Amino acid sequence: MDPAFKRKFLKGLMQEFNNTSDEFISKLSKYARSQTFVPMLDEFRHCTLDLIGKVAFGMNINSINNDSNQFAVAIDTILAAMYAQLFKFDFGMNPWKWAFYKKSREALMFLRNVGKELIENREAAMRLGQEVPLDVLTHSIKTSQIEGSGLNKENIIDDFINFFIAGHETTANTLSFTLLELGRHPNILQRLREELSVVVGDEEYLTYDHIHRLRYMDMVIRESMRLYPTAPSTFRKLNRSCDIGGYRIPEKTIVMVSNFVATRNPDVFEHPLKFIPERFDSRSSKKVSVYSSIPFSLGPRSCLGKTFATIQTKVILAKFLLSFDFELDMKQSFEMIEVATLKPKSKVNCLLYER
């Protein structure tokens, strides 16, 4: 499926990135006119969910304009169930939570049935020789048709659910954390607006060239992912024994690498709890090692959607900052919680003002 996430392919999808982000901005404009606090975490999630649906699977989910969208609600339920299974240790055994278990199973079956129907419709279109988008779904189906690929329909359904959960939740969380820090650092926000003014100006359509030239925005996002890695840890199974810090780790041991802990290491990052985008300036004499902050992991098992996530984050953030000034609700919590992913404890409530 790697070709579906290559930069060359994603550059051709800038129209979709722009259209969905414009729809998102249009909805936020209504909030700005009503002068009510907006839960930006929820709104970012609606936008990223619609984007990955369109770009990766050719689906029109319409979560932006439908807050109670069944697809979005089902994903929320599954994330809560994943967290309960991983960290509560009584998943499926507590009789006081049977209603939640039933709801979780129903949500999972709903998503699997949607995925199955989508796959079957795309397969039928391909058999009839109809033109289909070269997206993740098409690549998955083509791969499954290669003899010895080991990929069947159930695997594709698994990937369908995994891409949606990983592809929208983490990006929305990153955007939310970034907004929190920009709201608390007006000098950084001002410098970012100045870059947008120079690179984008009055143009409404963001091209891939615009995205590539937003270098300070890249530093801001990377610093946000350093301080708040939405996937706070990654796991690996050792294919051979090794020594780590004087300890012998046996072969086949499952090892957790905590990116959350690593990026707060004062031996690596000066003032590790401060939000300093300039630490990621490629022209800096103190360059950050690629191994010091790994929000997308590293190596052959690194995140397949890194480029997709980067483009998506930059387009949404740029459109938002070009369209609105914002004011954080200072009464809300600025803490973070982990529910499968790392996210703001609050909804990142903001007042919006049209620019």
pLDDT higher than threshold 80 for residue 151? no
Evaluate whether 75 touches 111 at the Cβ level (below 8 Å).
yes
Q: What is the pLDDT of residues 210-268, one digit of tens each?
A: 999 999 999 999 999 999 999 888 889 999 999 988 999 999 999 998 999 999 999 99
CA distance 225 to 317: 14
Q: Which of 133, 174, 145 is nearest to 305 (CA)?
A: 174
pLDDT higher than threshold 80 for residue 339? no
pLDDT at 317: 97
* Number of C-beta neighbours around residue 118 at 10 A: 18
108 pLDDT band (50/70/90 cuts)? very high
pLDDT higher than threshold 80 for residue 68? no
Judged by DSSP in three states, 253 sits in: coil
pLDDT at 89: 62
25 pLDDT band (50/70/90 cuts)? very high
> Hey, where are the domains in the chain?
2-229+305-354
- Across all residues in the chain, what is the average pLDDT? 89
More confident residue, 143 or 91: 143
pLDDT higher than threshold 80 for residue 150? no
pLDDT at 163: 82
pLDDT at 64: 92
Most confident among 68-77, 166-175, 180-189, 295-304 (mean pLDDT): 180-189
pLDDT higher than threshold 90 for residue 353? yes
* Number of C-beta neighbours around residue 210 at 10 A: 18
CA distance 330 to 332: 5
Evaluate whether 165 touches 78 at the Cβ level (below 8 Å).
yes
pLDDT average, residue stretch 11-30: 92
* Amino acid, res. 153: K
Q: What topology is assigned to 2-229+305-354 in CATH? A: Cytochrome p450 (1.10.630)
pLDDT at 87: 67
96 pLDDT band (50/70/90 cuts)? confident
Evaluate whether 239 touches 251 at the Cβ level (below 8 Å).
yes
155 pLDDT band (50/70/90 cuts)? confident
pLDDT higher than threshold 70 for residue 136? yes
CA torsion sign for 165, 312, 339, 228 is positive
pLDDT at 301: 82
Q: Supply the pTM of this predicted model.
A: 0.91
Evaluate whether 320 touches 182 at the Cβ level (below 8 Å).
no
More confident residue, 84 or 50: 50
